[in-house]
Amino acid sequence: MKSVVTFVLWLAGLCGAAYSVVLEAVQTAPPAPVAAAPAQASTLTLPFAALGAYAPLRMHGLDDSRIVNVGVRLDRVVTAAHMRLRYTYSPALVFPLSHLKISINGEAVATVPLDREHAGQLVTQEIPLDPRFFTDYNQIGIQLIAHYTLDHCEDPENSALWADVSPTSEVVLDTAPIRLPNDLALVPAPFFDRRDVTPLRLPFVLPAAPDNDTLKSAGVVASWFGLLADYRQARFPALSTLPTDSDAIVVGTPAQWPVPLQTPPVVVSMLTVIDNPAAAGRKLLVVTGRNAAEVEQAADALVLGKAAMSGSSVQVAHVDIGSPRKPYDAPRWLPIGRPVAFKELVDDPHQLQVSGSRPDAIRLNLRVPADLYSWTGQGVPLDLKYRYTAPTVENDSTLAVAVNDQLVKSFRLLPARAEDSQGRLRLPLLPSTDARSTNALDIPAFRVGSSNQLQLSFDLSSQKTGLCQGVAKNPAQAAVDPDSTIDFSHFVHYARMPDLAFFANSGFPFTRYADLAQTAVIIPERPLAQDLETLLTMLGHMGQWTGLPALRVQIARPAQAMQLQKDLLLIGDSTSGVIPAAWGDALPLAINASPAAGSVARATFSVKEYWRGAARVPQGSARLDESGALAAILGFELPGSHGLSAVALTGSDAEHLRALLNVFEKPDTVAQMQGDVTLVRGDRVESMRVGNTYVVGYVPWYAQIWARAMRHPILLGVLGALAGLLLAIGAFTALQELAARRRGL
């Protein structure tokens, strides 16, 4: 007999908006046992590049080290492990003394001797690792211990002391499965595990003919998992049957399930975790209710009230998704109306500190709205405060400031002064010999896009002044003050559209409202699995870009498209009818598919500008006629609207929609998406501008006048002289009249 305990939960602030969920925990009899899966060991190969080491790990000096982070999924245990280390080292070392030390979570587990025979060559070494050292989160350290002479003193900055570890090095883990309990407290695991750095592939089991409300519920859940996956990227295949090889999300009422599932009776909105009857050892997360409204309520509860859930099932009594979001308030975007302190950009202030002579750069991610525009032409003010171990003499120590790997400015670090020994410090974590400096600079606006990284690189040069002099006993340290600020407040929201670069990098203009309240997604009347996968995966990207689930997105069919006054995301091939025929004149490209030709289509368009890589080539008005299988992304202004945008993901057939999804997963192909037409043929991406542009956003009238005047400096000078002359004449006339009144005239 079921015992039901009702919990009244909290009103929790989620990124500035109030959300509340009231759940009922339901204790149920355990489901009928599923045949136990045999222990299926698997091997996971993790390149260093997938662990964050995109470039070679360069080690210099007598004692230098680098770390790579390795996670182990909650539902796996490491049974054996080894590292395939690929490295190169200096041929000028004293080899009996020089070696690499390998550690796991601070404990040494292996040493790699460096020999003369392989010096200066790329060496591949298999290094066994003890699996007992592996936990959920692990740090694998590689430490260079190097010597170039047998003398009693060595220069730690000598150029002979180096070793490089290739990003193609690999950590290979043999793992076995662990059977997890059916407990909502573990969610999002095992469906998504933050310890896993591999791309997320999570199937959604949907009804054969899903209605709009059910698809919205699935989209909300997909956007939440996309938010969690973040940089890993996520794909959400749509299935009509239970998968036989993976975990899955089931969305819909019991009547829509592909097979009966062993869950408690569905009497209200409900969330349940059960074993997947089609795949032993795998789980299903069931989002259900008696009707579509209750299914949507269960989906909202999952993404908003996860912290309150436990047990195999919960009943959702009430959900409040909060008040509508305001424009540009996405949790992952920087606040624009005020200076933003660096401490708001990091999880821990220690991330702003480094040590060593050539430490890794301090990296700060800056996500801002894509339509920021500086009408004055000014850059982004950066008030930078930093401390460092000051050199005793002036040398080449510097701090380089870069944005997106492009140098903005480099500051020389000054030597210590007499007053530095007074003992007054602002940052007690650093020694008393540290110097403090403040610099204000403007980052050029053209170097800032929607997704940016600010890189602060300290280079603390050796202070050696003679043989065996000035050898540091402690590593130099440097830190950026958490109260340093960056300020976008003088920017306005203004953009010339369409621009697919905005969409590809941040989902703009749809992400202007983080909950997608002003977005409608149009899908075919009878969507195929590829259409639904595209829908769910794109909403996953929206969650990744904003940091918020798509709580207010609208799903609609082609018959509704012309009545909606929202920004539209259209998904479907050229035969699906998602783009109304009446919009033909507004489209930058028309794909005419011939059923007799199979997947072969013909596209006709007139190119105004064409991009090859980063080069922008004007094309006049050359008319091109392309034929063959292709996929395309189109941007255009919604016909009959004033500034509403439409983006269409289309192609010659539905299968090629998956090629578009592949483009969004690779930074190099995302960078090639520009203009209003992007064509995708396999790995080849071509972008161009075909149609006319339109403006979204607002620039104050005085800013428009000033911006236009600045384009004509000679005319501005003439007008300024005339204005000065008129002002002088007016002042002279006024003074003459005043003098006449005083004389009584």
* Sequence spans of domains, the chain: 4-30+178-320, 56-166, 339-465+472-490, 504-697, 712-742
Q: Which H helix or E strand runs over 367? A: strand 362-367
pLDDT at 425: 38
Please list the alpha-helical segments (H only) found in 203-246: 212-229
At 273, list the tokens. Answer: 């975790």
Of the pLDDT bands very low, low, confident and very high (cuts 50, 70, 90), residue 654 is confident
Q: How sure is the predictor about 704, in pLDDT bands with cuts at 50, 70 and 90? A: low
Judged by average pLDDT, the poorest of 215-229, 290-304, 349-363, 449-463 is 449-463
Query: For 581, phi and psi rounded to 5 degrees?
Result: -60, -30
Kindly report whether the peptide bond that precedes residue 190 is cis, defined as omega within 30 degrees of 0: yes
- Determine which of 490-494, 615-619, 711-715 has the lowest per-residue pLDDT on average: 615-619
Chain centroid, CA 69 distance in Å = 19
Q: Do domains 4-30+178-320 and 339-465+472-490 have the same CATH topology?
A: no
Q: Is the pLDDT of residue 624 over 60?
A: no
Two structure tokens written together for 130: 């003890």
- Tell me the range of 152-156, 176-180, 387-391 where mean pLDDT is highest: 176-180
Residue 411 is predicted with a pLDDT of: 87
Q: Which of 120-129, 570-579, 624-633 has the lowest mean pLDDT?
A: 624-633
How would residue 741 be classed by pLDDT, with cut points 50, 70 and 90? confident
Q: What is the DSSP string of 541-584?
A: HHHHHHSS--TT-EEE-GGGGGG--SEEEEE--TTS--S-GGGG
Alpha-carbon span 204 to 188, nearest angstrom: 14
Q: What is the pLDDT, as a whole number, of residue 433?
A: 39
Parallel, antiparallel or unpaired: strands 234-235 and 200-201: parallel
Nearest to 489, CA basis, from 706, 339, 328: 339
Token pair recorded at residue 365: 């991610």
Nearest-5° angle of CA 535, CA 537, CA 541?
115
Query: Could you tell me where the beta strands, DSSP code E, fall in 473-513?
Result: 477-480, 485-487, 492-497
Q: How confident is the model at residue 604 (pLDDT cuts 50, 70, 90)?
A: low
Q: Are strands 17-26 and 313-320 parallel, antiparallel or unpaired?
A: antiparallel
Whole-number Å distance between alpha carbons of 491 and 600: 46
**Closest CA relative to residue 629, chosen from 680, 689, 684, 690:** 680
- pLDDT of residue 615 exceeding 60, the answer is no
Q: Is the Cβ–Cβ distance between 637 and 594 less than 8 Å?
A: no
SS3 content of the chain, % helix, strand, coil (to 5): 20, 35, 45
462 pLDDT tier (thresholds 50, 70, 90): low
* Partners of 175 in the β-ladder: 42, 78
In terms of pLDDT, which residue wins out, 6 or 522?
522
CA distance 586 to 669: 26
Of 541, 514, 543, 489, the closest CA to residue 327 belongs to 514
Single-letter code of the amino acid located at 333: W
List Cα–Cα distances, 117 to 91, 105, 120, 146, in angstroms: 9, 31, 9, 16
pLDDT higher than threshold 60 for residue 17: no
d(CA 44, CA 356): 33
CATH topology of domain 4-30+178-320: Chitobiase; domain 2 (3.30.379)
- Tell me what the pLDDT averaged over the chain comes to: 83
- List pLDDT tens digits, range 297-318: 999 999 997 667 889 999 998 8
Query: What pLDDT shows up at residue 689?
Result: 87
Q: What is the pLDDT of residue 737?
A: 85
| pLDDT grade for 398, boundaries at 50, 70 and 90 | confident
For strand 238-239 and strand 283-288, is the pairing parallel, antiparallel, or unpaired?
unpaired
Q: What is the pLDDT of residue 629?
A: 73
Contact call for residues 601 and 574 (beta carbons, < 8 A) = yes
- In whole angstroms, give the CA distance from residue 59 to residue 142: 9
Q: How far is CA 75 from CA 248, 275, 280, 331, in A?
A: 15, 14, 13, 30
Q: What is the pLDDT of residue 389?
A: 84
Q: Is the pLDDT of residue 590 over 90?
A: no
Whether the pLDDT of residue 144 is over 70: the answer is yes
On the question of pLDDT at 517 being above 70, the answer is yes
Structure confidence at residue 522 (pLDDT): 96
Output the pLDDT for position 484.
92
More confident residue, 21 or 223: 223
- Per-residue tokens: 709: 């005047």
pLDDT at 218 over 70: yes
Residue 114's pLDDT is 94
Count of CB atoms situated within 10 Å of the CB of 335 = 13
Residue 743 has pLDDT above 70, yes or no: yes
Is the backbone peptide bond immediately before 30 cis, with ω within 30 degrees of 0? Answer: no
Looking at the DSSP assignment, which residues form a beta bridge with residue 13?
18
Nearest-10 crossing angle of helices 529-546, 212-229: 50
Strand order in the sheet with 398-403: 362-367, 451-459, 398-403, 406-412
Highest-scoring range by mean pLDDT, 165-179, 334-348, 490-504: 165-179
Residue with the bigger pLDDT between 8 and 106: it is 106
CATH class of 339-465+472-490: mainly beta
Lowest pLDDT segment from 321-330, 406-415, 510-519, 644-653: 406-415
Give the model's confidence band at 374: pLDDT under 50 very low, under 70 low, under 90 confident, else very high: confident
Confidence of residue 437 (pLDDT cuts 50, 70, 90): low
Look at residue 255 and give its three-state secondary structure. helix
**Eight-state DSSP code of residue 115:** -
Per-residue model confidence as pLDDT tens digits over 255-285: 999 999 989 999 999 999 999 999 988 999 9
Specify the pLDDT at position 521. 97
Selected residue with higher pLDDT from 236 and 443? 236
One-letter identity of residue 117: E
Q: Work out the average pLDDT over 353-364.
A: 85
Rounded CA separation 658/474 (Å): 54
What mean pLDDT comes out for the span 185-203?
A: 94
**Token pair for residue 37?**
């899966």
> By three-state DSSP, how is residue 584 classified?
helix
Residue 384 CA to residue 426 CA, distance in Å, equals 15
Name the percent of the chain lying above pLDDT 70: 80
In this prediction, residue 20 has a pLDDT band, given cuts at 50, 70 and 90, of low
Summarised one tens digit per residue, pLDDT across range 29-65 is: 334 333 334 447 889 999 999 998 888 999 988 888 8
Q: Which two tokens stand for residue 274?
A: 């059960």
CATH number of 56-166: 2.60.120.260
Which comes out higher in pLDDT, residue 17 or 635? Answer: 635
In the Cβ-directed half-sphere of 243, how many Cα atoms lie within 13 Å? Answer: 21
